[in-house]
Amino acid sequence: MNEAFKNDLNAESDLNAENDFNSKGADNLSETIAYVETPESETAANRYEGAINVTSTAVETVAQQPYEAQKQIYRDEVSTDKRQFESEKRFEDENRYSQAYQDNHHSNGNNNGGATPPKKHRSFNFKTVLSFVLILTLIGGSTYSIGYYQGQISLNESAIETSVQQILSKNIDSEIYRSVVNYMDDNGTDVSSATANVAQIYANVGNSVVGITSKLKYYDWFNNERFTEGAGSGVIIKDEADKYYIVTNYHVVDGATEVLVEIATDQMIDSKLIGYDQDADIAVLSINKTDIPVELADNVRAINIGDSSKLLVGEPAIAIGNPLGYNNTVTAGVVSAIDRKVGDDSNTTYIQTDAAINPGNSGGALVNKKGELIGINTAKITDTTVEGMGFAIPVNIFMPIVAEIIENGYVAKPYIGIGGVDISQEASDLYEVPVGVLVRYIYENSPAASSTLKEMDVIIAFDGEKVNTMDELTSFINSHKPGDKITLTVVRDNKEKLMVNITLGDKNKTE
C-alpha cells in the first residue's frame, strides 16, 4: 500500500468529518482501506499521487514561470493528467469496487464461497475536488488574463503602428526635404532659385494651400435676390483636434454671405469666418475635419511656418495659389526686396517677389526654399501695367494677428475716435496755425467724445512726442493697447494750449 496515498486518504477523511461528511466515510474507513490495497487500486493511487504532484508543480510554476511557460506547462501536463485522474476516479463506482474485490478474493483461493465482500460506500473527496477546482481556477484565470492582455497589447501595437505610418506618410517627405536644405545651409552650400526643387516643394506643401470661393448676395433693379462669386486662395496654418484654421486676405471674404473651401479639385466644404483685421487685410477661417472626405483626410495638412526676418534678397520664392480659379497653380522666382512699402500704405511693409501673382492668388502661400510659409500673397496692390512685381504680407507680421483672432475672434485695435486733417508747414504759414492734426470730426460714443477734446482743436503732441501728420498720430496710437491712458497736447482757437487725457478704446470690440 502506498503510504502517501493512505495518509492523504486519512487526511481527507478527517476533513470530511469536520464538514459533516464523515457519517459514512468514517464508519467504513477500514473497508475502504481493505479495498484500496488491491493491485488495481495501487495503480490508481500511484496515478492519483502523480496527478497531485503534477498539479502542485503546476501551481508553483504559475507563480514562478513566465506567462508563456505557464500556458505551455498547463496545456502539456496539467490538462493531460487531469483527464487521466478523472478516468481513474471511475474506480469509485460501486460496481467496479465489487468487481475488483471479487477478483482479488478469487486470486487468494476463496473460490468456494468466500467471505461476502464488505459493503462499499462512495467516498466524497471534498478536499481533492476543492483543491482541484482552485488549481484550475488559478491556472485558467492566469491563462485568460495572459491571453486578454496579450490581445490588448497586440491591438495597441497595431494602433500605434497605424498612427506612426500615417504620420510618416503625411510629413516625412516634407521633413526630409527641410532637413536636407538646412544641412546644405549649415555647410555653406547655397540653394539658388535654379537649384531649388520646386516640384518637391510643391509636393510637400501643395495640400496646405486651398481655394476660396466667396458668395455675395445682392439685389437687382427689380429687388430680386442675386448671388455673385469671387475666387481667392488660403493657407492651412494650424491643425487642431477637430478643425483646421486657414488664413487668407480679408478682401477675399469681405461681404461674403458664404465661404467655401476647395481642399481638392471639385471638393468644396463649408467654412466658418473666425475673425479678421481689415487694416492688415487678414482673415481667418476654420473647417471641420469631419467635413473632409475620408479618402482625402490624410492628404490635408497644416503648412510649416517660416521666419520672414531671415529672408535674403535673391533667395528662392515659390508662390502657390488659385489665380483666375485655377487651383494650386505654382510660380517660382526670387525675393526681389524686403520691407517694401507700397502706395499710401505706409504702416505695412511687404515682401516683393518676381514670382507671378495674379488675381485669385490673394491669400495664397509664398514659401521659401525649405517649403516654409514666409508670406501671404496679395494681388490687391499689383499693377496691371507692370510685370514681375508681386507682393506678400510677411509671416512675422500676420501670424501674431492670426493668433489673436483665433483666441478672441477679433484683433484689439486702440483708437480715440476722431477724423483729422494734416496741417502742413505751408498751410501753417498761410493760415497762421500750428503744424499738426486738425480735429474735423469726433465720433459718437468714442473715447474722444468722452474727453474734453473738441472739433477744430489742433493736436500737436502725443504723450509729449511731436505730431505732424495723421499717420504719425495713428502710429503712436497703435503702439499702445486698448485701455491705456494717453495725453494729447492741443491748441484751441489758435490761442491756448491744453492737455487732454483720453483712455484708448477698442475699435473692433466696439463695432
Phi, psi of 488 (to 5 degrees): -100, 140
- Which cell numbers hold the place of 202? 510643391
Catalytic residue among 8, 277, 281, 354: 281
Rounded-to-integer distance, Cα 342 and Cα 381, Å: 8
Task: Count other Cβ atoms within 10 Å, centred on residue 383.
Answer: 9
- In terms of Cα–Cα distance, which of 277, 439, 418 is closest to 348? 277
The helix or strand, by DSSP H or E, that contains position 23, with its residue range, turns out to be: helix 22-25
Active site residue 354: no
Q: Residue 208 gets which letter from DSSP?
A: G
Task: Count other Cβ atoms within 10 Å, centred on residue 229.
Answer: 12
Q: Where are the alpha helices (DSSP H) in 249-394?
A: 250-253, 294-297
Rounded-to-integer distance, Cα 319 and Cα 236, Å: 15
Active site residue 251: yes
Start-to-end C-alpha separation, the chain: 105
What amino acid is encoded at 45 in this protein? A
Task: Count other Cβ atoms within 10 Å, centred on residue 429.
Answer: 10
Question: Are 355 and 332 spatial neighbours (Cβ–Cβ below 8 Å)?
Answer: yes
What residues form DSSP beta bridges with 332? 318
Catalytic residue among 251, 277, 336, 457: 251
Catalytic residue among 208, 271, 362, 446: 362
Active site residue 362: yes
Strands 243-248 and 282-288: antiparallel
Question: Are 25 and 91 spatial neighbours (Cβ–Cβ below 8 Å)?
Answer: no
CA 405 to chain centre: 21
Rounded-to-integer distance, Cα 280 and Cα 508, Å: 13
What residues form DSSP beta bridges with 239? 244
For 210, residues 6+ apart whose C-beta sits below 8 A from its C-beta are: 233, 234, 235, 236, 246, 261, 262, 263
Phi, psi of 356 (to 5 degrees): -60, 125
- Residues belonging to the active site: 251, 281, 362
